[in-house]
Amino acid sequence: MLKAGVQGEGLLHILKWRLLMQMCKHKVDFTAISNGNENIMIKDVTTDLNAILMLHADVGKALVYIVNSPLLGRETLSAALGELSEHLVATFIGGARKARGNNGFDLVGPNEEKIEVKSRQLSKWGGSLQFNFGTHSATANEAFCIAWDDTVSPPVIFAAFRAPISWMLEKWGCTGQTSYSIRTKLKALQREAHSNMLNTSS
């Protein structure tokens, strides 16, 4: 029985977790769902990554500990979510994390493709949340943009998108800039993913 004080987004958060638990219980093939149409240039992989996250309850407990600890703070959580994002994507694609360095990518895919992973937090950026890629990222093959809802405990992935770097350069490339190769916003990614979904279903 839910307490009377649980309203709005709190209730939505609880329902989301229950739905994901059911999906994991029935072993839905999320990769097949996500990759079912190869003509889609940008794919919403929110459910896929959250489903993997739900399989590791200890990770959720660790994130709650970081949030509640008087000795740890926002930067610790940001670093943890960034590393966790890479692990989730690596598990999802069957790839491996790359050693740290200015390579322009974080993961190596099963076919040696270079994959960049960007992680952002809603509590820090809200509606203006952006994904900025350095010039080195232009050499990668694919990108995952992950927005974490860290206003709930434990944090969950609010939205996650997968897209080719070449396509992102055409849409949001920063020609003539020395600091960034691509700059885009969460709203723009959501809009493009929604448009692709409508086009493929029509």
Mean pLDDT taken over the chain: 81
100 pLDDT tier (thresholds 50, 70, 90) = low
Looking at residues 65-85, what average pLDDT do you find? 92
pLDDT at 121 over 90: yes
The mean-pLDDT minimum among 30-34, 53-57, 64-68, 166-170 falls in 30-34
pTM of the model: 0.78
Give 72's contacts (C-beta < 8 A, 6+ positions apart): 66
Looking at residues 29-35, what average pLDDT do you find? 37
